[in-house]
Structure 1
Amino acid sequence: MAAPAPAHNYTEDSIKSLDWREHIRLRPGMYIGKLGDGSLPEDGIYVLLKEVLDNCIDEHVMGFGNSIEITITEDQTVTVRDYGRGIPLGKLMECAAQINTGAKYDSEAFKKSVGLNGVGIKAVNALSEFFEIQAVREKQTRSIEFSKGLVVYDMGKPKPCDEPNGTRIAFRADAESFADDTHFRLDFVREMLRFYAWLNPGLALLLKTPAGEEKFKSKDGLMDLIRSKLTEEPQYPIVHLEGKDVEVAFTHGTGYGEEYYSFVNGQHTTQGGTHLAAFREAIVQECREFYKKQFDPADVRGSLIAAVSVKVQEPVFESQTKTKLGSTHMEPNGRNLRGHVTSVISAQLDNFLHKHADIAKALQEKINSNEKERKEISGIQKAARENARKAKVHNKKLRDCRIHFDTKDKRREESTLFITEGDSASGSITKSRDVETQAVFSLRGKPLNCFGLTRKIVYENEEFYLLANALQIEEDLEELRFNRVVLATDADVDGMHIRLLMITYFLQFFPELVRKGHLYILQTPLFRVRNKKETYYCYSDEERQRAIHRCGKSAEITRFKGLGEISPDEFKHFIGPHMRLEPVKIRDHETDADGNALPSDHRSVKEMLSFYMGKNTPERQAYIVENLRIEQELEFKETAEKTEALAEAA
Structure 2
Amino acid sequence: MAKEKETTVQGEYTEDSIRSLDWREHIRLRPGMYIGKLGDGSSPDDGIYVLLKEVIDNCIDEHTMGYGKQVEISIEGKNVSVRDYGRGIPLGKVVDVVSKINTGAKYDSKAFQKSVGLNGVGTKAVNALSTYFKVTAYRDGKEKTAEFEKGVLTKEYKEQKTDEPNGTLITFIPDETVFKNFHFLHEYLDGQLWNYCYLNAGLVMNLNGKKYVSKNGLLDLLQRKTNEDEIRYPIIHLKGEDIEVAITHENSYGEEYYSFVNGQYTTQGGTHLAAFREAFVKTIREFYKKDYDAADIRGSICAAISVRVQEPVFESQTKTKLGSQVVYENGPTMKNFVNDFLSKELDNFLHRNPTTAEALKKRIEQSERERKELAGIKKLANERAKKANLHNKKLRDCRYHYNDEPTGKDKEAIREKQAESTIFITEGDSASGSITKSRNVETQAVFSLRGKPLNCFGLTKKVVYENEEFNLLQHALNIEEGYEGLRYNNIVIATDADVDGMHIRLLMMTFFLQFFPDLVKNQHVYILETPLFRVRDKKETFYCYDEGEKAKAIKKLGGKPEITRFKGLGEISPDEFGRFIGPEMRKQPVIIEQGEHVQALLEYYMGKNTQERQEFIIDNLRVELDLAEETETAK
Compute the TM-score of the two structures, normalised by the length of structure 2: 0.94
Structure 1 counterpart of 2:332: 335
Structure 2 counterpart of 1:600: none
Counterpart residue type for residue 167 of structure 2 = G
Deviation of 1:36 after TM superposition, in Å, equals 2.3
Deviation track 1:500-535 (CA, whole Å, cap 9, x = no partner) reads 011000111011221222211111111111122222
Counterpart residue type for residue 96 of structure 1 = V
Counterpart residue type for residue 61 of structure 2 = D
Aligned ranges for residues 368-517 of structure 1 at < 5 Å? 368-407=365-404, 408=406, 410=414, 411-517=417-523
Deviation of 1:11 after TM superposition, in Å, equals 1.7
Counterpart residue type for residue 447 of structure 2 = F
Structure 2 counterpart of 1:101: 103
CA distance in 1, matches of 2:110, 2:630: 66
Is contact 1:484-1:520 (8 Å) kept?
Answer: yes
Unaligned stretches of 5+ residues in structure 1 = 590-602
Secondary structure at 1:305 match in 2? strand
Deviation of 1:644 after TM superposition, in Å, equals 9.1
Deviation of 1:355 after TM superposition, in Å, equals 0.6
2:73 maps to which of 65, 70, 73: 70
CA distance in 2, matches of 1:572, 1:73: 32
Counterpart residue type for residue 203 of structure 1 = L
4+ long deviations beyond 6 Å: 640-645
1:521 maps to which of 505, 522, 527: 527
1:583 lines up with 2:576 in the alignment = no
Counterpart residue type for residue 281 of structure 1 = E
Cα 1:543–1:277 shift into 2, 3 Å: same
Counterpart residue type for residue 95 of structure 2 = M
1:280 maps to which of 274, 277, 280: 277
Deviation of 1:577 after TM superposition, in Å, equals 2.7
Structure 1 counterpart of 2:186: 186
Structure 2 counterpart of 1:607: 600
Cα 1:312–1:641 shift into 2, 3 Å: closer
Cα 1:293–1:544 shift into 2, 3 Å: same
CA distance in 1, matches of 2:124, 2:197: 25
CA distance in 1, matches of 2:207, 2:43: 20
Deviation track 1:530-569 (CA, whole Å, cap 9, x = no partner) reads 1222221110111101111122222111211222222333
Is contact 1:82-1:167 (8 Å) kept?
Answer: yes
Aligned ranges for residues 213-232 of structure 1 at < 5 Å? 213-231=209-227
Structure 2 counterpart of 1:131: 133
Cα 1:149–1:431 shift into 2, 3 Å: closer
CA distance in 2, matches of 1:532, 1:186: 40
Cα 1:25–1:614 shift into 2, 3 Å: same
CA distance in 1, matches of 2:575, 2:102: 49
CA distance in 2, matches of 1:426, 1:446: 15
Deviation of 1:641 after TM superposition, in Å, equals 6.6
Structure 1 counterpart of 2:321: 324
Is contact 1:314-1:332 (8 Å) kept?
Answer: no
CA distance in 1, matches of 2:426, 2:265: 34
Structure 1 counterpart of 2:411: none
Deviation track 1:96-147 (CA, whole Å, cap 9, x = no partner) reads 2222111111111111101110111111122222222222222222222222
Structure 1 counterpart of 2:195: 195
1:621 lines up with 2:604 in the alignment = no
CA distance in 2, matches of 1:312, 1:528: 54
Counterpart residue type for residue 446 of structure 2 = V
Range with greater deviation from structure 2 (536-545 or 437-446): 437-446
Structure 2 counterpart of 1:592: none
Deviation track 1:22-81 (CA, whole Å, cap 9, x = no partner) reads 32222222111222232322121211111110011011111111111111223x221111
1:241 maps to which of 232, 238, 242: 238
CA distance in 1, matches of 2:110, 2:399: 50
Structure 1 counterpart of 2:43: 40
Q: How many equivalent pairs are there?
A: 622
CA distance in 2, matches of 1:399, 1:176: 32
CA distance in 2, matches of 1:280, 1:240: 16
Cα 1:403–1:54 shift into 2, 3 Å: closer
Cα 1:426–1:99 shift into 2, 3 Å: closer
Deviation of 1:403 after TM superposition, in Å, equals 3.6
2:153 maps to which of 146, 151, 154: 151
Cα 1:155–1:532 shift into 2, 3 Å: closer
Deviation of 1:457 after TM superposition, in Å, equals 0.9
Is contact 1:244-1:344 (8 Å) kept?
Answer: no
CA distance in 2, matches of 1:25, 1:439: 28
Secondary structure at 2:483 match in 1? coil
Secondary structure at 2:558 match in 1? helix
CA distance in 2, matches of 1:278, 1:486: 32
Counterpart residue type for residue 243 of structure 2 = V
Deviation of 1:335 after TM superposition, in Å, equals 2.7
Range with greater deviation from structure 2 (391-400 or 468-477): 391-400
Is contact 2:39-2:583 (8 Å) kept?
Answer: no
Range with greater deviation from structure 2 (311-320 or 560-569): 560-569
Cα 1:575–1:386 shift into 2, 3 Å: same
CA distance in 2, matches of 1:414, 1:137: 42
CA distance in 2, matches of 1:31, 1:92: 21
Cα 1:238–1:77 shift into 2, 3 Å: same
Give the % identical residues.
62
CA distance in 2, matches of 1:620, 1:637: 21
Deviation of 1:83 after TM superposition, in Å, equals 1.0
Deviation of 1:495 after TM superposition, in Å, equals 0.9
Deviation of 1:406 after TM superposition, in Å, equals 3.3
Counterpart residue type for residue 476 of structure 2 = A
Cα 1:182–1:441 shift into 2, 3 Å: closer
CA distance in 2, matches of 1:335, 1:451: 47
Unaligned stretches of 5+ residues in structure 2 = 408-413
CA distance in 2, matches of 1:101, 1:390: 56
Aligned ranges for residues 337-352 of structure 1 at < 5 Å? 337-352=334-349
1:113 maps to which of 112, 115, 122: 115
CA distance in 2, matches of 1:333, 1:72: 44
1:538 lines up with 2:531 in the alignment = no
CA distance in 2, matches of 1:441, 1:23: 37
CA RMSD of aligned residues (A): 2.0
Secondary structure at 1:554 match in 2? coil
Counterpart residue type for residue 86 of structure 1 = G
Secondary structure at 1:145 match in 2? strand
Secondary structure at 1:151 match in 2? strand
Secondary structure at 2:559 match in 1? helix
Range with greater deviation from structure 2 (348-357 or 37-46): 37-46
Counterpart residue type for residue 268 of structure 1 = Y
CA distance in 1, matches of 2:391, 2:20: 53
Deviation track 1:389-432 (CA, whole Å, cap 9, x = no partner) reads 22223333223334433333723333322212222322322333
Compute the TM-score of the two structures, normalised by the length of structure 1: 0.92
Is contact 1:52-1:80 (8 Å) kept?
Answer: yes
CA distance in 2, matches of 1:306, 1:641: 46
Is contact 1:140-1:161 (8 Å) kept?
Answer: yes
Structure 1 counterpart of 2:27: 24
Cα 1:167–1:412 shift into 2, 3 Å: closer
CA distance in 2, matches of 1:419, 1:439: 9
Counterpart residue type for residue 440 of structure 2 = D
